[in-house]
Amino acid sequence: MSLPQFPDGFFFGTATASYQIEGAYDEDGRGMSIWDTYCREPGRVADGATGDIACDHYHRYREDVALLRDLGVDSYRFSVAWPRIQPDGTGPANAAGLDFYDRLVDELLASGISPAATLYHWDLPQALEDRGGWRVRDTAERFGEYAGLVADRLGDRVDRWITLNEPFCSAFVGYAAGGHAPGAREGRGALAAAHHLLVGHGLAVRALREAGAREVGITLNPDRLLPATGSPADLAAVRRVETLHNDVWFEPLFAGRYPQHEAETWGELADGSYRREGDLELIAAPLDFTGINYYRPITVADAPYRDPDPASRTAVDVRAEETWRDDVRHTTMGWPVVPHTFTDLLVDLAKRYPGLPPLLITENGSAEADTVDADGRVRDTDRIDYLHSHLDALAAAIDAGVDVRGYYVWSLLDNFEWARGYGQRFGIVRVDYDTQERIPKDSYHWYRQLISAHRDRTTTGGATGATPRTTPGKDPR
C-alpha cells in the first residue's frame, strides 16, 4: 500500500501526557493531583494501577527523546503537571518542577525537535479539588496564573502551547460519569465545570499572550456522531449528544455563543448561573490553531433516562445510548475503526465554523493486543493499519480543503490509560513495566519511514511550524 502524502510544511509528531508517563509522583516537591487520589480509591482503576511509576519518564526522558530523534519527528507534544509547578495549585512556582520541563525542552531542541506543551492534561492539584475543583471559578483564575508561571520560564523555547486537553473528559467524565478523577456524578456541577474550564482556557490564553508565547491553541476531542437509525427519535438523540460532546466547546470558542440546544439537552440543569458577563469574549479570544484528538465514531440511539429522578440525574444522562457495531473491527478499547468518519468530521467542522483556526491533529492512534515475538519484535500490524487508514482519511480531508497543519500519534510510549490502567497499549514503543525496557514496535518503524518519505518529497522537509530561531544545537530540519 502506498503511503499517504501531505503538503509542504506539514509536520509529524508524537504525543504523551504527564500523569500517564512521568512517574516520580512524590519527587522534587510535586504535590498530589486528583489522579493520585482517584487511583488510591478502591475499585476506580483496573488492577488498582497508579501513575506512581508509570514509564518512569521523569528519570528516563533523555532515552525517550533519543527515541524521538531516531524516529525523526518534527515536534513532540508533552504535558506539564500542574502539581509539579504549584504543589497546592496556588502561589509561587516550585523551581525544581519547572527545572524538569526546562531540561526536557532543552533536550528536545538539542535533538532538532519542536516542543509543544499542554498545560492541563487532567492532573489538577488535589488542593484545588478540595476547594471545589472545576466546579468553582477560582480554579479557572488559578489556572490562568499557573499558565503565566510556566510561560515565563519556557516561553522562549516552546513553539506551541495547548491550554487544555479534551475538556469534555475533565468536565463530563470527571464530574458527571465518575469514570475519571475526581469521580463525581453530578448534573449542574459538571456543567459549571465545563464553563469554568473554558474560562480557565481564556485566562490562560491571555497569560500566554502576555508572556509572548508563540502559538497558542486548545485541544478538543469532537466526536463523529452517527444515528443508529434515521428515526426522528434517534436524530434528536444525536443532537443532544452533539451538544454534550461538541457544541459545549465549539460554539463558545468559535461562534461566540452558548450551545443552541442546551435546554433541550439538559432542561433546568443548564441554568447558566455559573456564567458572567464578558465570559464569552474571554473564551472566544483568537487562537493560532485548534488541536483535534480523534479515535472513533459513536453510534447513538434514543433511550430513556438512566436515572428517572431529575434531582440526582447527571449531566451525561441525556436520553441516549451508544450502540455496538458488528460490521467493523474494534480496538482493544472496544472502539470501532471507521476511518472515513475522520474525514467527515474534519470537513464538517470546517464547514460549520468558517472562522476555525488551522487544525492540528494532536492525537490519533489505537490500543491493540501487542505481543513480543520470540525474536524480540512487536509486529503490531493492526496499529499500522489503523494509522495508515486514518492518515489516508486525513489526507482526504486536506484534499477537500480543510486546513490541517500537523499530526501527532498517540502515543510515543505504552502508558497509564487512566481508569483502564496499564492493560491498554497505545504506544508505538512498547514499555516493559517490570524493567522499563523500551522496544520500538513495527508501527514505530512504519511511522519513521512515512516521516522520512515526506521529508524527501517536500521542499520544506517537514517544517515544525515553529518560529525560526537560533537555539544552539537546534537542527533546523
User: Is the Cβ of residue 172 or residue 274 nearer to ligand IFM in the bound state?
Assistant: 172
User: Is the Cβ of residue 79 or residue 464 nearer to ligand IFM in the bound state?
Assistant: 79
Return the ∠ at Cα 188 (arms to 184 and 194), rounded to 5°: 80
User: Is the Cβ of residue 72 or residue 174 nearer to ligand IFM in the bound state?
Assistant: 174
Q: Give the alpha-carbon dihedral of 364, 366, 370, 372, to 10 degrees.
A: 0
When binding is defined by CB under 6 A, the residue of 265, 293, 314, 464 that contacts ligand IFM is 293
Residues 15-44 that bind ligand IFM (CB under 6 A): 17, 20
Active site residue 262: no
Cα 25 to Cα 53: distance, rounded to the nearest angstrom: 7
User: Is the Cβ of residue 114 or residue 118 nearer to ligand IFM in the bound state?
Assistant: 118
Q: Please name the residues in contact with 7: beta carbons below 8 A apart, sequence gap of 6 or more.
A: 398, 458
What is the secondary structure of 356-382 as a DSSP string? PPPEEEEE----------TTS----HH
Instruction: State the nearest-atom distance from the C-beta of 443 to ligand IFM, in Å.
Output: 15
Active-site position among 242, 363, 368, 417: 363
Return the ∠ at Cα 382 (arms to 362 and 376), rounded to 5°: 100
Residue ranges in 289-337 assigned as alpha helix (H):
none
Instruction: State the nearest-atom distance from the C-beta of 126 to ligand IFM, in Å.
Output: 19
In the complex, which residue's CB is closest to ligand IFM?
A: 17
Instruction: State the nearest-atom distance from the C-beta of 264 to ligand IFM, in Å.
Output: 28
At what angle are helices 381-399 and 340-352 packed, to 10 degrees? 30
User: Is the Cβ of residue 83 or residue 187 nearer to ligand IFM in the bound state?
Assistant: 83
Please state, in angstroms and as integers, the Cα–Cα distance from residue 352 to each residue in 132, 247, 262, following that order.
35, 11, 18
Strands (E), 137-227: 160-165, 215-220, 224-227
User: Is the Cβ of residue 117 or residue 463 nearer to ligand IFM in the bound state?
Assistant: 117
**Longest pairwise C-alpha distance within the chain:** 63
Instruction: State the nearest-atom distance from the C-beta of 297 to ligand IFM, in Å.
Output: 15
User: Is the Cβ of residue 154 or residue 162 nearer to ligand IFM in the bound state?
Assistant: 162
When binding is defined by CB under 6 A, the residue of 74, 123, 223, 363 that contacts ligand IFM is 363
- Residue 166 interacts with ligand IFM (CB under 6 A): yes or no: yes
Site size for ligand IFM, by CB under 6 A? 8
Grid coordinates representing 106 are 532543552
User: Is the Cβ of residue 53 or residue 93 nearer to ligand IFM in the bound state?
Assistant: 53
Looking up cell 486514518 gives: 390
User: Is the Cβ of residue 17 or residue 269 nearer to ligand IFM in the bound state?
Assistant: 17
Residues 374-433 that bind ligand IFM (CB under 6 A): 410, 417, 426
Cα 377 to Cα 242: distance, rounded to the nearest angstrom: 42
Cβ 159 vs Cβ 466: under 8 Å: yes
Instruction: State the nearest-atom distance from the C-beta of 160 to ligand IFM, in Å.
Output: 17
Instruction: State the nearest-atom distance from the C-beta of 384 to ligand IFM, in Å.
Output: 18
Cα 44 to Cα 418: distance, rounded to the nearest angstrom: 10
Tell which residue, 208, 198, 93, has the closest CA to residue 140: 198
Looking up cell 525496557 gives: 437
Active-site position among 107, 129, 166, 186: 166
Instruction: State the nearest-atom distance from the C-beta of 58 to ligand IFM, in Å.
Output: 17
CA 473 to chain centre: 29
Return the ∠ at Cα 241 (arms to 238 and 243), rounded to 5°: 110
Instruction: State the nearest-atom distance from the C-beta of 417 to ligand IFM, in Å.
Output: 5
Residue ranges in 155-301 assigned as alpha helix (H):
167-168, 188-210, 232-242, 248-254, 262-266, 279-283
Instruction: State the nearest-atom distance from the C-beta of 410 to ligand IFM, in Å.
Output: 6
What mask, x for binding ligand IFM by CB under 6 A, covers residues 66 to 105?
----------------------------------------
Active site residue 363: yes
Grid coordinates representing 442 are 513495527
Please state, in angstroms and as integers, the Cα–Cα distance from residue 48 to each residue in 12, 124, 333, 350, 443, following that order.
35, 20, 18, 42, 29
Residues with catalytic roles: 166, 363
Interface residues with ligand IFM (CB under 6 A)?
17, 20, 166, 293, 363, 410, 417, 426
